[in-house]
Structure 1
Amino acid sequence: MPSMSEPKLIAGNSNRTLANAIARRMSMHRGMSVNLVDARVERFNDQEVFVEVFENVRGEDMYIIQSTSNPANDNLMELLIMTDALRRSSAARITAVIPYFGYARQDRRAKARTPISAKLVANLITEAGVDRVLTMDLHATQIQGFFDIPVDNLYAAPVFALDVEHHFRNRLDKVTVVSPDVGGVARARELAQRIGASLAIVDKRRVKAGEVAEMTVIGDVSDQICIIVDDICDTAGTLCKAAEVLMEAGAAEVHSYITHGVLSGPAVERISNSVMKSLVITDSIEPNDKVKAAPNIRIVPTAPMFAQAIMNIWSGTSVSSLFEADTLAPIYEGMYARC
């Protein structure tokens, strides 16, 4: 076990609700009060980020909780400057807890003369002084290799499996997991294997970025409860169209399980008016009031998983144990009763 007495949490402004929830969960597990380190993360009048830490962090094991979601650049700068403040205050180890890793979709050069921004962001985080990264459902697994420091990538699939087993417990034989594109088949297959469901694919063809010209269902979805699985939902145009195509192919119901609910622009309105019966997202990105008020959007908490992962990293025990639903079920305290 590390020599540091207790893990210490500090949070930026991207998702204070999740940071507070993680602190509460750790308090329950530790049997003692775990609070966020007292600090201010503010803007000067010209919008420069300023950070001041009001507590002694010398020799401490620090965990910065900060998603790099919208506004991505502001939240990224907060993370970098908080890291610099802790490093200059002699923190022993700094772990960046990034529930949603922004810029992850720019993980390769799809065209000439374009950047690999995910690699650049990884370099910035490493050079700022972060010793370790804890994140969830990276858009592409190779992004872990962009870092020259350890990266723990948690998965929403085990929690989604628990949720599906709970909400469809009497109809699991009618469930088909659907990948919204060929590139997401591995993610969909993993959930399908966890719940013992069949697999289908929606093959989409784009004319240009943001516009889908044609969609075709690969697999039999007749009279099936279709569950679309993906890591990111941004404007929800493709997701809602995929749901329509599945219904036209004979599906009985369509539900979606998406890890990161970016939900920008008209997304919430599209989802509310779509044929989808429900969209389940995690709280890796703090939901706004429109998302919370949407009748067919449900939010699954990630604080239990992140709190346990932080404690495992601090104590030097396995993080990969959290990849299994059987391990997560007790952590979620009976929220999902195993069938």
Structure 2
Amino acid sequence: MRKCKVFVGNSHPELGQLICAKLGVEPAPCTLKKFSNGETSVQIGVSVRDEDVYVIQSGSGDINDHIMELLILVSACRGGSAKKITAVIPQFPYSKQSKMKKHRGAITARMLANLLIMAGADHIISMDLHASQMQGFFSKPVDNLYGAPSLAKWIRENVDDYKNAVVVSKNPGGTKRVTALADSLKINFAMIHTDRRRTADVLAQKKKEAKQRRQSAVRRRSSNKRSDTLDEDEVENIILSNGLQTARIVKGHVVDDDYIAEAVVEEDDESEDGEIPHDQTSYALGGTYDADDSDADDEPAALSQEKLITLVGNVKERSVIILDDMIDRPGSFIAAAEHCRLNCGAKKVYVVATHGLFIDDCLQELNNSQYIDQVVVTNTYPLTEEKKTCPKLVTIDIAPILAECIRRDHYGESISVLFDSLSTL
């Protein structure tokens, strides 16, 4: 690739080296260091005048330092008279803050987009943005690549009887992503919904309705002078006739109907007279539920509350593929896996995502869960050597997709084929 330079930042040097190897080029020399006072210093060691420049920098554990490193590196290339500067950001930082969820909040993802453009970026390449509307934050072109083709290829090659598997969304906000993967695999999909506003009362009503349906079926069989007992398959068909399976979640785990949860009241949540205030997460006048609220399902405050989990769909005797764009905390994935295995009759559960952030001991908890068979992610986010040795973890290399995107962009070719298949890689 002539008239082209590829710079690799410190956030994920392993991925940068893989991309350069696929392109058949060496990373352009640059010095990235810090002064004693903590300031970031960048020095480019090669001329970039009138050349296409690609800066590879993903999200990482030291996210703020590496964002500054990316901005300074882009600005240095602009000062060096580069013809075009493309920021390659496989895992876009602050992507969860793409909307104002609370009053007096900040849309941080838009602020970061403005910083990149002001630093001098002419083009952005990323993968599986948390919210597709983030592309509108930029005044320059954005290519949002998809990890789904790589994930679909792995599923076809490694999931037993994948044609009968079911792709499951762990919250309503991910249904669009799930249906896209299900369509590419030509398999069924389902959705899980967790609700803190409805708990044991709703569950008891569901059980009562199911019991009434079973009794009605018994009476019908008796009136036809047949046996008044139902076999297991018939009972299951009656229970699943409405396509809903409901259970309780207490402290992040699925529990039996008879489980008595201890009252958890935070000191700050009590009013002056000692009464427990109304749930502040409820919506006045029954307003519409915002699917993006599911981002906070794994927060400690949310885990302390009892919730109702509902699966819309049928996964009995099938493999379940729980799909999301990122895995940062384990709570909602473990609860979804437990519900699918314990209450819905799933055969196996695979947790699949593009970005494996694995905050704190997230990966260890997923690995310790007996209801999760494998955790599958791509290498958009750097993992420590300890995490790479996790028995259940599978990492898919997406360097070929990013390298092909860079090559096609440099030569002015279409990249639409990267959205559909891996046949050209």
Q: Deviations over 1:267-303 (max 9, x none)?
A: 0111110121101101000111222010001100010
Cα distance between partner residues in 1 of 2:110 and 2:381 = 21
Q: 2:316 aligns with which of 205, 208, 222?
A: 222
Amino acid in structure 1 at the alignment position of 2:182 = A
Cα deviation, residue 109, structure 1: 1.1
Aligned residues: percent identity? 36
Match of 1:334 in 2: none
Match of 1:254 in 2: 349
Cα distance between partner residues in 2 of 1:38 and 1:129 = 20
Segments of 5+ residues of structure 1 without an aligned counterpart are 28-33, 332-339
Q: Work out whether residues 180 and 229 of structure 1, in 8 Å CA contact, stay in contact via their aligned partners in 2.
A: yes
Q: 1:38 aligns with which of 6, 29, 35?
A: 29
The yes-or-no answer on 1:137 pairing with 2:134 is no
TM-score when normalising by structure 1: 0.91
Q: Work out whether residues 61 and 93 of structure 1, in 8 Å CA contact, stay in contact via their aligned partners in 2.
A: yes
Cα distance between partner residues in 2 of 1:26 and 1:214 = 49
SS of the counterpart of 1:62? strand
TM-score when normalising by structure 2: 0.73
Match of 1:239 in 2: 333
Aligned length in residues? 319
Please list, as runs of the form range in 1=range in 2, the aligned pairs for 1:7-46 lying within 5 A after superposition. 7-27=4-24, 34-46=25-37
Q: Deviations over 1:120-140 (max 9, x none)?
A: 000001100000000000000
Match of 1:289 in 2: 385
Cα deviation, residue 174, structure 1: 2.1
Structure in which a larger fraction of residues adopt strand: 1
Q: Work out whether residues 163 and 185 of structure 2, in 8 Å CA contact, stay in contact via their aligned partners in 1.
A: no
Amino acid in structure 1 at the alignment position of 2:189 = L
Match of 1:97 in 2: 88
Q: Work out whether residues 9 and 36 of structure 1, in 8 Å CA contact, stay in contact via their aligned partners in 2.
A: yes
Match of 2:405 in 1: 309
Cα deviation, residue 7, structure 1: 2.4
Cα distance between partner residues in 1 of 2:368 and 2:47 = 51
Cα deviation, residue 47, structure 1: 1.5
Cα distance between partner residues in 2 of 1:88 and 1:173 = 53
The yes-or-no answer on 1:86 pairing with 2:181 is no
Match of 1:31 in 2: none
Give the 3 Å change call, closer, same or farther, for CA 230–15 of structure 1 in structure 2.
same
| Segments ≥4 residues shifted beyond 4 Å | none
Cα distance between partner residues in 1 of 2:3 and 2:183 = 38
The yes-or-no answer on 1:171 pairing with 2:161 is yes
Match of 1:321 in 2: 417
Amino acid in structure 2 at the alignment position of 1:130 = A
Amino acid in structure 2 at the alignment position of 1:260 = H
Match of 2:2 in 1: 5
SS of the counterpart of 1:138? coil
Give the 3 Å change call, closer, same or farther, for CA 90–268 of structure 1 in structure 2.
same
Q: Work out whether residues 282 and 300 of structure 1, in 8 Å CA contact, stay in contact via their aligned partners in 2.
A: yes
Amino acid in structure 1 at the alignment position of 2:9 = G
Cα distance between partner residues in 1 of 2:106 and 2:165 = 40
Cα deviation, residue 10, structure 1: 0.1
Match of 1:58 in 2: 49
Cα distance between partner residues in 2 of 1:25 and 1:139 = 27
Cα distance between partner residues in 1 of 2:175 and 2:31 = 43
Give the 3 Å change call, closer, same or farther, for CA 254–50 of structure 1 in structure 2.
same
| Greater mean deviation of Cα atoms: 199-208 or 68-77 | 199-208
Cα deviation, residue 235, structure 1: 1.7
Cα distance between partner residues in 2 of 1:42 and 1:241 = 43
Match of 1:151 in 2: 142
Amino acid in structure 2 at the alignment position of 1:313 = D
Cα distance between partner residues in 1 of 2:92 and 2:12 = 13
Amino acid in structure 2 at the alignment position of 1:254 = V
Cα distance between partner residues in 2 of 1:45 and 1:318 = 45
Cα deviation, residue 77, structure 1: 0.5
Match of 1:75 in 2: 66
Amino acid in structure 2 at the alignment position of 1:225 = S
Q: Work out whether residues 268 and 290 of structure 1, in 8 Å CA contact, stay in contact via their aligned partners in 2.
A: no
Match of 1:265 in 2: 360
Cα distance between partner residues in 2 of 1:308 and 1:132 = 16
Cα distance between partner residues in 2 of 1:61 and 1:293 = 38
Q: Work out whether residues 12 and 60 of structure 2, in 8 Å CA contact, stay in contact via their aligned partners in 1.
A: no
Cα deviation, residue 13, structure 1: 0.3
Segments of 5+ residues of structure 2 without an aligned counterpart are 197-278, 282-295
Cα distance between partner residues in 2 of 1:247 and 1:185 = 20
Cα distance between partner residues in 2 of 1:45 and 1:238 = 42
Q: Work out whether residues 22 and 304 of structure 1, in 8 Å CA contact, stay in contact via their aligned partners in 2.
A: yes
RMSD: 1.3
Cα deviation, residue 330, structure 1: 4.2
Q: 2:187 aligns with which of 187, 193, 197?
A: 197
Q: Work out whether residues 19 and 403 of structure 2, in 8 Å CA contact, stay in contact via their aligned partners in 1.
A: yes
SS of the counterpart of 2:423? helix
Amino acid in structure 2 at the alignment position of 1:63 = Y
